[in-house]
């Protein structure tokens, strides 16, 4: 393996270690998103109120969004956990994260003081912390997607 001058070589992962690491990351991310989706599914009126507070959707789409989004999140999280089409699951969860981050950013710019409705552990307001957490989750998803890409054999 060739590295740039001054760069230290990392510890190479065996294929077995890489598989275990990817499994752990899949389970962690899948668990986080599954937990968040179940909270939204089990408390639909709470989630509907959170979505409505963003003031981004017309009332005619509110009901459909508050039913569709948590179930999409749950299916993608479950697929990630069980390893069924994990790259597709990561893409779906990444798109959801980008949509959530845009909604948070727009809400922050509008100066609304509302709960993020994320469905994780505690209620927290829309703000930089929620945006940072979602950004970190998105980075993990992008990293997982990259790690799940088929390995190309080096060309001589």
CA distance 132 to 116: 12
| 3-state secondary structure (DSSP) of residue 36 | helix
H or E segment at 16?
helix 15-42
Which is more confidently placed, 108 or 2?
108
Dist. CA 94–CA 144, nearest whole Å: 11
Neighbour count for residue 38 (Cβ, 10 Å): 15
Which residues does residue 125 pair with via DSSP β-bridges, in sequence order? 115
| Residue-level pLDDT at 9 | 58
* CB neighbourhood size of 74 (10 A): 18
Bridge partners (DSSP) of residue 115 are 125
Q: Is the pTM of this model over 0.85?
A: no
Distance of alpha carbon 134 from alpha carbon 138, whole angstroms: 6
State residue 155's pLDDT score. Answer: 64
Q: CA-CA distance, 112 to 118, in Å (whole number)?
A: 16
For 7-63, the pLDDT digits (tens) are: 555 556 678 888 899 999 999 999 999 999 998 999 899 899 999 999 999 999 999
List of long-range contacts for 21-28, beta carbons under 8 Å, 24+ apart: 22/144, 22/147, 22/148, 23/83, 25/140, 25/143, 25/144, 25/147, 26/80, 26/81, 26/83, 26/86, 26/144, 27/81
List the chain domain ranges.
18-148
pLDDT range class, residue 116, cuts 50, 70, 90: confident
């Amino acid at each position: 393996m060739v590295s740039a001058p001054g760069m230290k070589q990392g510890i190479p992962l065996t294929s077995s270690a890489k598989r275990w690491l990817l499994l752990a990351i899949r389970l962690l991310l899948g668990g986080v998103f599954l937990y968040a989706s179940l909270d939204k599914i089990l408390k639909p009126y709470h989630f509907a109120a959170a979505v409505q507070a963003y003031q981004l959707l017309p009332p005619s789409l509110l009901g459909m969004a508050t039913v569709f989004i948590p179930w999409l999140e749950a299916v993608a999280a479950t697929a990630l956990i069980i390893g069924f089409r994990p790259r597709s699951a990561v893409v779906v969860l990444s798109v959801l994260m980008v949509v959530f981050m845009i909604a948070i950013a727009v809400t922050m710019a509008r100066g609304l003081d509302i709960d993020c409705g994320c469905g994780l552990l505690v209620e927290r307001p829309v703000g930089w912390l929620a945006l940072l957490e979602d950004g970190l989750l998105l980075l993990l998803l992008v990293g997982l997607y990259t790690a799940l890409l088929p390995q190309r054999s080096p060309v001589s």
